[in-house]
Amino acid sequence: MQRVFVKGIKGGLGTTSVVANLACVLKKSDVDVIAIDLDAKSDLGLHFGLPWKYTKGWSNEASFEDALVHFHQDDDGIIFLPFGDSTDTSIDNITKMVNRCKKLNYSQEAWVIFDCPAHINLLHYPLEKNDIVIELVNCDAICHSLIYRRLQTLKNSDTDWKHYFLVNRYNSASTLEFDLFSLWQSTLPLMAPFFINSDEVIKESTAYRNVALNCAPYSVANDDFETLAGWLVSKATL
């Protein structure tokens, strides 16, 4: 299985929307796609049509075997597991869940995408050589500072997994965002060579508890996620 960890370099960057839309686009290739919610907000299920009243998830169970009952499948065939409403949001609990997901019986072609909370440091996750980490950023001054801090941390750490920054909610009309993205592209080795545009369809599809592909298949956002999926497939083969 190919594991992808998606997190924001800070909170509020749209990580859950990226995970849901990416999962939907990858599923178009007729491979198994499993989305796991590691964030205590437990919002991932809302993008896949999970009823509001359903609040339980893997965090409510003592064992992985008990958590299996909380796996769901949406209309597109995506399998997803909500976090639940447990108050145990410790890194130890999340780490155990990531490791337990190795027990999932899927083919080598399957994709497992983790929706990661922003407040937990990447180095605390049990990352392995073939894992891909996508760290979301916005083109703003705060993210600019955080990116260089992250690069320094990675430089001083013993890591062999694949790490990339991805700009989300890019506003092409903003001169500042254009300048920052151009700077990052020319100076940062880990920056994805494209961005996810800020598109109203993301907000609209979330309101319908769905994803951009189903609500607006010809939208700019959907094209961006198609690009992201294809790029990830190419990186997974390296």
What average pLDDT does range 134-147 have in this prediction?
96
| Residue 198 Cα to chain centre, angstroms | 17
Question: What φ, ψ does residue 74 adopt, rounded to 5°?
Answer: -85, 180
Q: Is the pLDDT of residue 105 over 90?
A: no
Residue 206's pLDDT is what?
A: 87
Among the listed residues 95, 188, 177, the one whose alpha carbon sits nearest the alpha carbon of residue 150: 188
109-129: pLDDT as tens digits: 999 999 999 999 888 999 999
Give the whole-number percent of the chain exceeding pLDDT 90.
74
- Mean pLDDT over the full length of the chain: 93
pLDDT tens-digit readout, 182-195: 999 999 889 999 99
CA distance 83 to 43: 8
Cα end-to-end distance, the chain, whole Å: 14
Q: Which residues pair with 55 in a beta bridge?
A: none
Whether the pLDDT of residue 80 is over 90: the answer is yes
pLDDT score of 156: 85
User: Which position has the higher pLDDT, 203 or 169?
Assistant: 169
Bridging pattern class, strands 162-170 and 33-37 = unpaired
pLDDT at 99 over 90: yes
Q: pLDDT-based confidence at 155, cuts 50/70/90?
A: confident
Residue 177, domain extent: 2-236
Tell me the pairing of strands 79-81 and 33-37: parallel
Q: Give the pLDDT score at 213.
A: 86
- The total domain count for the chain is 1
3-state SS, residue 104:
coil
143's tokens: 């993210």
18 contact partners, CB below 8 Å, separation of at least 6: 6, 134, 136, 166, 168, 196, 225, 228
Between CA 80 and CA 70 the distance in angstroms is 9
Q: How many whole angstroms separate alpha carbon 24 and alpha carbon 91?
A: 28
- Among residues 136, 208, 204, 125, which one has the least CA distance to residue 166? 136
CATH number, residue 9: 3.40.50.300
Phi, psi of 113 (to 5 degrees): -115, 125
List all residues 6 or more positions away from 41 whose beta carbon is below 8 Å from its beta carbon. 16, 83, 117
Strands 79-81 and 72-73: what pairing? antiparallel
3-state secondary structure of 2: strand
More confident residue, 215 or 165: 165
CA distance 37 to 85: 12
